[in-house]
């Protein structure tokens, strides 16, 4: 990394170094959803705003939320505060977050036409404003992570209009009308490429692709709707920004992780809590950085349960570049003292 004009000292970003293939001991640490509801300062700020979207589209508020966990904990990464459904909102679906129920997109594409949607690309602009604000305030040793949903997972929300456990509406459409579904996937790829490019140009150091519902697909469908779109998106991003590492997080992929790692071109792979880290170290390509994979419920348990879980994960990767993280997002009822314990365990202070 280039030195500042006033100093000959090069700033070290441990997390970014690991994403580029360097092993660090202790491993760098951040947590998925680290900016969020388990923090009282987040809840206090949200109470003053018009719901989740009111915060996400307010660059000042979103930047504050992004920075909040870094004031409490010795995390090596900041993750942009936003949502994967910003992309379908820009594509033209109406987006709202219903209290106690979650996000809703309308009209659902299972019974509506993609061509009927009116693009609203201006929804991306506030996110870039957030990135610029965070970048200006972030300490130089902290890696700034941008993100988007992967095409398959975003499509599941666009087709059904909401989240679902089995994604049956989307899977049914992909089987029954693959040409129509391919058009949806390609539109998501197009807007996601623009969105992530904008995040990079505004100042993020690395990107993560969240494929939260990839585990619902049969192997051939996984290759078609997870691996292939991700590979196209990664290739396009690398052509534009070859220096930006990309983390792929195909939650629930299980035994399909090795093929995902080989075929997508990602620089690091996130492991969910159901993956045996010993298996992952043996089966994934040598030298590929991995991220994860503490069970968020082990973090809630704390104490010796947490200590043993951290030790098992760290011991599973004796030589591989590793970023310590959760296997999914932190739960809102996680005690802050347990996050403090996790930081101490990973950093070797406990």
- Residues marked active site are found at 33, 37, 46, 83, 157
Q: Which two tokens stand for residue 236?
A: 């396009």
In terms of Cα–Cα distance, which of 285, 289, 16 is closest to 146?
A: 16
Report how far residue 167's alpha carbon sits from residue 160's, in angstroms, rounded to the nearest whole number. 8
Beta bridge partners of 102: 98
Q: What is the dihedral of CA 52, 226, 247, 101, to 10 degrees?
A: 20
Report how far residue 323's alpha carbon sits from residue 59's, in angstroms, rounded to the nearest whole number. 28
CB neighbours (10 Å) of residue 41? 13
Query: In which residue are the tokens 């602009």 written?
Result: 125
**309 DSSP 8-state letter:** H
For the chain, what is the largest distance between any 2 Cα atoms, rounded to a whole number of angstroms? Answer: 62
Q: Helix, strand or coil for residue 226?
A: helix
Report how far residue 349's alpha carbon sits from residue 212's, in angstroms, rounded to the nearest whole number. 33
On whether the CB atoms of residues 103 and 85 are closer than 8 A, the answer is yes
In terms of Cα–Cα distance, which of 301, 280, 305 is closest to 291?
A: 280
Distance spanning both ends of the chain, measured CA to CA: 32
Show the beta-strand stretches assigned E in 32-182: 77-79, 94-98, 102-106, 143-149
């Amino acid at each position: 990394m280039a030195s500042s004009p006033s100093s000959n000292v090069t700033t070290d970003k441990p997390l970014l170094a690991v994403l580029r293939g360097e092993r660090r001991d202790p491993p760098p640490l951040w947590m998925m959803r680290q900016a969020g509801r388990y923090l009282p300062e987040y809840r206090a700020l949200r109470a003053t705003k018009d719901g989740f979207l009111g915060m996400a589209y307010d660059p000042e508020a979103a930047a504050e939320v992004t920075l909040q966990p870094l004031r409490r904990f010795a995390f090596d990464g900041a993750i942009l505060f936003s949502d994967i459904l910003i992309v379908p909102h820009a594509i033209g679906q109406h987006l709202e977050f219903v209290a106690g129920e979650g996000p809703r997109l309308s009209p659902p594409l299972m019974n509506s036409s993609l061509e009927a949607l009116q693009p609203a690309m201006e929804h991306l602009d506030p996110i870039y404003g957030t990135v610029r604000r965070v970048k200006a305030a972030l300490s130089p040793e902290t890696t700034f992570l941008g993100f988007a949903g992967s095409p398959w997972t975003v499509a599941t929300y666009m087709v059904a209009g909401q989240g679902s456990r089995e994604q049956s509406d989307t899977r049914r459409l992909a089987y029954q009308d693959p040409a129509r579904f391919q058009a949806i996937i390609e539109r998501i790829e197009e807007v996601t490429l623009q969105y992530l490019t904008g995040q990079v140009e505004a100042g993020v150091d690395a990107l993560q692709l969240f494929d939260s519902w990839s585990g619902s697909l049969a192997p051939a469908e996984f290759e078609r709707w997870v691996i292939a779109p991700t590979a196209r998106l990664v290739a396009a991003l690398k052509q534009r920004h070859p220096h930006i590492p990309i983390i792929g997080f195909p939650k629930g992929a299980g035994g399909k992780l090795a093929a995902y790692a080989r075929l997508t071109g990602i620089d690091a792979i996130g492991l969910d809590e159901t993956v045996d880290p010993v298996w992952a170290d043996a089966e994934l390509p040598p030298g590929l950085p991995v991220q994860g994979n503490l069970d968020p419920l082990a973090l809630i348990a704390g104490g010796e349960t947490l200590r043993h879980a951290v030790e098992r994960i760290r011991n599973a990767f004796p030589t591989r570049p590793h970023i310590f993280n959760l296997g999914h997002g932190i739960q809102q009822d996680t005690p802050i003292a347990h996050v403090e314990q996790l930081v101490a365990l990973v950093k070797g202070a406990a």
